[in-house]
Amino acid sequence: MAMFQFPFPWALTAIHTLCGSIGSYIFWKLDLFKPSKLGERENMVMLMFSVLYTINIAISNVSLNLVTVPFHQVVRAMTPVFTVMLNVLFLKKTYSAMTYTSLIPVIAGVAFATFGDYNYTAMGFFLTVLGTVLAALKTVVTNRVQVGRLKLHPLDLLLRMSPLAFIQTMLYSYLTGEMGLVQEYCRTNMNFSVFCALLLNGVIAFFLNVVSFTANKKTSALTMTVAGNVKQVLSIVLAVVIFDISITAMNGLGILLTLAGGAWYSERSNVQLNEKKNKSKILPGDSLLGIDKNEHELKSATIYKQ
């Protein structure tokens, strides 16, 4: 939206969440999914999730004013590390040594790819790290509400979260004074082209959220954060191709390192998944033997009682 000079992050996020609300509602009415019946406790979880979503955006926006963009990107590249920590500490998940090792090039590659002016304030450093932790937490929670006890459909999650996030972002826009600037912008700069661009941006954001939530449900929180790092370097590649931006040899090395690390992580994940499937398989003969043994023990116990 920088090309249309629309520097209002909260208003843009409100457009995204509004399109998410409308889009998921339309899909509901088209019977593409059926909303789950949630109790008071589950609805409170949805409220807290929407607050987490909004706070994550707020802290990210504030921290960007206190640090340089390269520093912000490098710290954000640590999201997979915090995701692993949250999964290990709270969900008691375990990872192989090779999985930990495969994360190193993914993280280091982003540092090289975005290498630049690393300036920050003490508060900026704290808020950037906090925002990264919250981003990891949001990814983990997104996964849990879809594969845990709630097992929400991705569109169901959007239907419940988007309206709450829309209200919160509009409120924050008002409290920060951004809403007044947006109103002035609409009076002086709004035209059909800008309106269509904003609408298209919101529609794209809706489908991007659907794809993101679906991928999170079918993979894992850690996989999503690794993919996020790969997305960072691919955005640099697209910027080079589309806007003819020049990069250094170090930036190019970082791009290759991140892509290679992402491929390595994907390969290790597939290996672990196959190993897990093989361990869970029970041979038909073993199953029959188990049943025969149980039946024999049951018959023996009956004869003994008689």
Asked whether residue 187 is domain-assigned, the answer is: yes
Q: What is the pLDDT of residue 300?
A: 42
Question: Cβ(68)–Cβ(119) under 8 Å?
Answer: yes
Q: CA-based angle 223:281:217, to the nearest 5?
A: 25
Q: In the structure encoding, which two tokens stand for residue 97, read together?
A: 């040594």
Decide: helix, strand or coil at residue 150: coil
**Host domain of residue 186:** 2-281
Tell me the pLDDT tens digit for each residue of 96-135.
899 999 999 999 999 999 888 788 999 999 999 999 999 9
Q: How far is the C-alpha of 142 from the C-alpha of 219, rounded, in Å? A: 12
Q: Does the pLDDT of residue 11 top 70, yes or no?
A: yes
Asked whether residue 28 is domain-assigned, the answer is: yes
Tell me the pLDDT tens digit for each residue of 153-172.
999 999 999 999 999 999 99
Q: Does the pLDDT of residue 55 top 80, yes or no?
A: yes
Asked whether residue 26 is domain-assigned, the answer is: yes
How many folded domains does the chain comprise? Answer: 1
Residue the block writes with tokens 């590390």: 81
Asked whether residue 297 is domain-assigned, the answer is: no
Question: Cβ(87)–Cβ(93) under 8 Å?
Answer: yes
Question: Cβ(149)–Cβ(220) under 8 Å?
Answer: no
Angle of helix 178-188 versus helix 154-175 axis, rounded to 10: 90
Asked whether residue 231 is domain-assigned, the answer is: yes
Tell me what the mean pLDDT of segment 29-44 comes to: 93
Other Cβ atoms closer than 10 A to 190? 14
Asked whether residue 87 is domain-assigned, the answer is: yes
Tell me the pLDDT tens digit for each residue of 274-297.
887 777 665 454 444 444 444 444
Asked whether residue 288 is domain-assigned, the answer is: no
Per-residue burial over 119-157, b = 16 or more CB atoms within 10 Å of its CB, e = otherwise = ebeeebeebbbebbbbbbbbbbbbbbbbeeeeebbbbbb
When comparing pLDDT for 244 and 14, which is higher? 14
Q: What are the two backbone dihedrals, phi and then psi, of residue 120, each rounded to the nearest 5 degrees?
A: -160, 155
Asked whether residue 298 is domain-assigned, the answer is: no
How many contiguous H segments (helices) and E segments (strands) does the chain have? 12, 0
